[in-house]
């Protein structure tokens, strides 16, 4: 074996994915196939996954361009439910705007908005039961808001202040609450996937009736944890909903690096024998309907469902990101599936159940609500205003019973701080 190329064969080449548009280019989405709303069939929830593979390649849509809910997936929700859904989505956006501004003012170190993705978390949560366990990624703050969780409690965590239930031990926006059936967010991608599947398996093993739902970004499907979770979910028919939020971009890298050029992300379900749906993630009714359908499959022991939410990240990945450095300036405004809040508002207006005046009044009311909650949370402290948690709590929450060597380190730390004369709260 000489290592020399064969003269009669063309040289091999490596494909490196490249975004279609860069800063300075005008983005256009003529290659994005948007089928008519209502055109996809809705299988019976008990139908075997192998019989509707086409749904992993299409796009389940309910709301048409005129704001009508059409087709077999239309969930036929009451006007009151639709207004409540719209309110939650608008509240998520108002919360994001206020907390983003707080980070820019130096009151917290970090924040992540979900602008353009509000339907993904809010509508899905409303289709679940209140005690179904959720395993979110870091852009599903809408789960807590749709469960009427305290905004002040969420802000306390963002500020890592004295009211923070996590005692300042988590990065801002990585909430955790057992009472809210909201599993601890992790900055390590896709770790929540096997955790969700394991929780669902345990629920089934105990004969419980609760199911699990988990979310990750499309980039996270390249992680090993994603595939391990799919294997276990398939083999044991775990009662779990696996949500993939395809918002086109990870931080500074587009979805092609996770495999978007080859096929859809919903198609990854097929190799595992899992039901796969690809849906319009900016259509709140499609998100609700798909989640309701997947939840029925899970509760009736039909196994897991993987749902790809085809959406768009309208803002930066986080406050540490500048999307103008890697994507076209007009992408967000020209995204063909529109804005989820505007589309749900348009549906309610079409029904005669909403109007511009009430929407503007609601926006003002929610902005004032978030502002009041912010003042209350900031009374507990913000970044740079000193130590908010007693120093001796630094070692808490790691072991159920603290081992001897940590007890020694804790005692040494407290002794050194007391000797230093620094005016910190040493003990709780």
Please count the other Cβ atoms lying within 10 Å of the Cβ belonging to residue 28.
14
Whether 62 is in a domain gets the answer yes
Are 293 and 210 members of one domain? Answer: yes
d(CA 243, CA 221): 10
Same-domain pairing of 117 and 251: yes
Q: 245, 309 in Cβ contact below 8 A?
A: yes
Q: Are 165 and 190 part of one and the same domain?
A: yes
In a domain, 31, yes or no: no
Residue 176 shares a structural domain with residue 290: yes
Mean pLDDT of 336-363: 98
Whether 307 contacts 218, CB under 8 Å: no
Are 153 and 104 in a shared domain?
Answer: yes
How many domains does the chain contain in total? Answer: 2
Bridge partners (DSSP) listed for residue 182: 134, 177
In a domain, 199, yes or no: yes
- pLDDT value at position 2? 63
Q: What is the pLDDT of residues 357-366, one digit of tens each?
A: 999 999 999 9
Gyration radius from the chain CA atoms: 24
Residues 270 and 400 placed together within one structural domain of the fold: no
Residue-wise pLDDT for 179-238, tens only, equals: 999 999 998 999 999 999 999 999 999 999 999 999 999 999 999 999 999 999 999 999
Residue 18 lies in a domain: no
pLDDT in tens, 375-415: 999 999 999 887 788 888 888 888 899 999 999 999 999 88
Does residue 166 lie in a domain region? Answer: yes
For residue 37, tell me if it sits in a domain.
no
Cα atoms in the Cβ-side hemisphere of radius 13 Å centred on 155: 28
Report the alpha-carbon distance of residue 395 to residue 407 in Å, rounded. Answer: 9
Residue with tokens 């083999």: 235
What share of the chain in percent tops pLDDT 90? 84
pLDDT greater than 70 at residue 425: no
Write out 287-299 in H/E/C secondary structure.
HHHHHHHHHHHHH
Domain range for 105: 49-322+330-378
Same domain? 373 vs 404: no
d(CA 220, CA 189): 6
| CATH number reported for the structural domain that contains residue 248 in this entry | 3.40.50.970
Terminal CA-CA length for the chain: 71
The span from the CA of 227 to the CA of 274, in Å, is 12
Which pLDDT score is estimated for 260?
85
Position 252 confidence tier, pLDDT thresholds 50, 70, 90: confident
Percent of the chain with pLDDT over 70: 98
Domain match, 366 and 410 both? no
Q: How many CB atoms are closer than 10 A to CB 411? A: 11
- The whole-number average pLDDT for the span 61-88 is 98
145 CB neighbour count, 10 Å cutoff: 22
Q: Are residues 397 and 361 in the same domain?
A: no
* The predicted structure's pLDDT at residue 1: 55
pLDDT of the residue at 177: 97
> Do the domain assignments include residue 32?
no
- Same domain, yes or no: 255 and 402: no
At 41, is the pLDDT very low, low, confident or very high (cuts 50, 70, 90)? Answer: very high
Give the number of other Cβ atoms within 10 Å of residue 184's Cβ. Answer: 16
Same domain, 395 and 374: no
Residue 339 belongs to a domain: yes
SS3 sequence of the chain: CCCCCCCCCCCCCCCCCCCCCCCCCCCCCCCCCCCCCCCCCCCCCCCCHHHCHHHHCCCECCECCCCCECCCCCCCCCHHHHHHHHHHHHHHHHHHHHHHHHHHCCCCCCCCCCCCCHHHHHHHHHHCCCCCEEECCCCCHHHHHHCCCCHHHHHHHHHCCCCCCCCCCCCCCCCCECCCCECCCCCCCCCHHHHHHHHHHHHHHCCCCCCEEEEEEHHHHHCHHHHHHHHHHHHHCCCEEEEEEECCECCCCEHHHHCCCCCCCHHHHHHHCCEEEEEECCCHHHHHHHHHHHHHHHHCCCCCEEEEEECCCCCCCCCCCCHHHCCCCCHHHHCCCCCHHHHHHHHHHHHCCCCHHHHHHHHHHHHHHHHHHHHHHHCCCCCCCCCCCCHHHHHCCCCCCCCHHHHHHHHHHHHHHHHHCCCCCCCC
Which of these ranges, 65-69, 78-82, 165-169, 190-194, has the smallest mean pLDDT? 165-169
pTM confidence score: 0.94
The first and second tokens of residue 242, run together, are 């696996």
Hey, what are 221's tokens?
């499907």
């Amino acid at each position: 074996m000489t290592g020399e190329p064969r003269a009669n064969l063309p040289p091999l080449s490596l494909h490196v994915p490249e975004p279609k548009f860069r800063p300075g280019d005008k983005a256009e989405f003529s290659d994005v196939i948007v089928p008519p709303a209502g055109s996809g069939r809705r299988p019976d929830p008990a139908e075997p996954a192998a019989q509707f593979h086409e749904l992993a390649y299409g796009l389940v849509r309910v709301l048409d361009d005129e704001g009508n809910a059409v087709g077999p997936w239309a969930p036929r929700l009451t006007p009151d439910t639709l207004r409540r859904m719209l309110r939650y989505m608008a509240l998520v956006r108002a919360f994001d705007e206020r907390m983003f501004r707080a980070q820019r003012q130096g009151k917290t170190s970090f924040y992540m908005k979900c602008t353009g993705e509000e339907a993904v978390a809010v509508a899905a949560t409303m289709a679940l039961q209140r005690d179904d366990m959720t395993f979110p990624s870091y852009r599903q703050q809408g789960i807590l808001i749709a469960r009427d969780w305290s905004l002040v409690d969420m802000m306390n965590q963002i500020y890592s202040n004295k009211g923070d239930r996590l005692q300042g031990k988590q990065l801002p926006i990585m909430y955790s609450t057992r009472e809210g059936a909201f599993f601890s967010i992790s900055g390590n991608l896709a770790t929540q996937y096997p955790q969700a599947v394991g929780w669902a398996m345990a629920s089934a093993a105990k004969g419980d009736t609760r199911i699990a739902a988990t979310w990750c970004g499309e980039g996270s499907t390249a992680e090993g944890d994603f595939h391990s979770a799919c294997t276990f979910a398939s083999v044991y028919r775990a009662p779990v909903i696996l949500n993939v939020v395809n918002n086109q971009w990870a931080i500074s890298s587009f979805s092609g690096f996770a495999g978007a050029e080859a096929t859809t992300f919903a198609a990854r379900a097929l190799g595992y024998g899992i039901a796969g749906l690809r849906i319009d993630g900016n259509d709140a009714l499609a998100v609700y309907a798909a989640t309701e359908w997947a939840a029925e499959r899970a509760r009736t022991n039909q196994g897991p469902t993987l749902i790809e939410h085809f959406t768009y990240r309208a803002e930066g990945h986080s406050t540490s990101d500048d999307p103008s450095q890697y994507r076209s300036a007009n992408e967000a405004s020209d995204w063909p599936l529109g804005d989820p809040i505007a589309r749900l508002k348009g549906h309610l207006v079409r029904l005669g159940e909403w109007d511009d005046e009430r929407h503007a009044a609601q926006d003002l009311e929610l902005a004032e609500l978030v502002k009041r909650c912010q003042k209350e949370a900031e009374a507990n402290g913000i970044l740079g205003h000193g130590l908010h948690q007693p120093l001796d709590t630094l070692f808490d929450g790691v072991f159920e019973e603290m081992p001897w060597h940590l007890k020694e380190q804790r005692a040494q730390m407290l002794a050194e701080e007391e000797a230093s004369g620094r005016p910190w709260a040493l003990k709780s």
